A = this chain, B = another copy of it.
Amino acid sequence: VLVPVERATVSVYDRGFLYGDAVFETIRTYEGEPFRLEEHIDRLGWSAERVGMKLTLSSADQVAEVRSALKKVEAERGEPGDLVARIMITRGEGPFGLDPAGATTPCRVLFIHPYRPLPDKDRTDGVSAITYATYRPSDAARGAKVGNYLESIVALREARARGAHEAIILGVDGQVLEGTTSNVFAVRGGRLLTPPTSLPILPGITRGLVLDAASDAGLVAEERPLAPADLHDADELFVTSTIRELLSITRIDDRPVGAGVPGPKTRALYEAFRRNAGLPPP
């Protein structure tokens, strides 16, 4: 059931609230159609399996539920525009303590929001990023999309304090991992570089589609470990996410990337990504 925001509450004993014991997905629509919904639901199931959480709905039922909620919101809404859905599943309530054995009824929350496009300026000029060194959570959650974002929040706060849009997280040995809510790509001399999913990063759905589009942009895709220098020396740099699609990073750690403006290869990839997905040009 859809409830108004003021009645959308959970118990303070919900393990999502107590411990961050949650998995989730974010999906957007393009002209009413949820983008790669089945892939997102598959990844949700995989995340749940990764952390040992049992789901009570089949993938097909979850897909149907999201579609029906999106339709309902769209029908009740007086204005056009795309929507964003966030499905969040927690292990539910249980006895105090980390042991999830007593928590038997997962809690499922579906958020539906208007899609807020990025400021035009971010698209036309690109945005800046910093690199942010850290231990990176975590092996258990490797590749799973879980509700443990405090590290990313702290990294993003530092980015914002330094006037940057995004922080690129570096792993314990200094290698490039990903943005706080994005994957990161570098273009250099005909190659499209991004860290491999054998590292503790989210296997982004947009990330996969961009790798698929490399040849359309005349690039050779290469998934390999990257050092910060690979970002600093890139011709072009961009991040990917469901919400931002492809977004040019034109400054990194207070230095310009390449010419300091969004690059032609990023543009070509963005166009190919949209074309391959059957979407109108950006």
Contacts and interface: CB of A to CB of B under 8 A. Distances in A.
A16 B19 contact: no
Contacts of A135: 135-139, 171-172, 200
A209 interface: no
Contacts of A147: 17-20, 150
Interface in A141-174: 141, 146-157, 160, 171-172
A101 B17 contact: no
A139 B173 CA distance: 13
A133 interface: yes
Interface stretch (A3-11, A75-83, A220-228, A255-263): A3-11
Interface residues of A, number: 57
A1 interface: no
A110 B96 CA distance: 13
Given A19-B147, A140-B154, A140-B155, 6 more contacts: A8-B12, A9-B9, A17-B90, A101-B160, A133-B139, A137-B150
Q: Which 3 A-B pairs have the closest CB atoms?
A: A20-B20, A140-B154, A137-B137
Interface of A: 5, 8-14, 16-22, 51-52, 84, 86, 88, 90, 96-101, 109, 111, 113, 133-141, 146-157, 160, 171-172, 180-181, 200
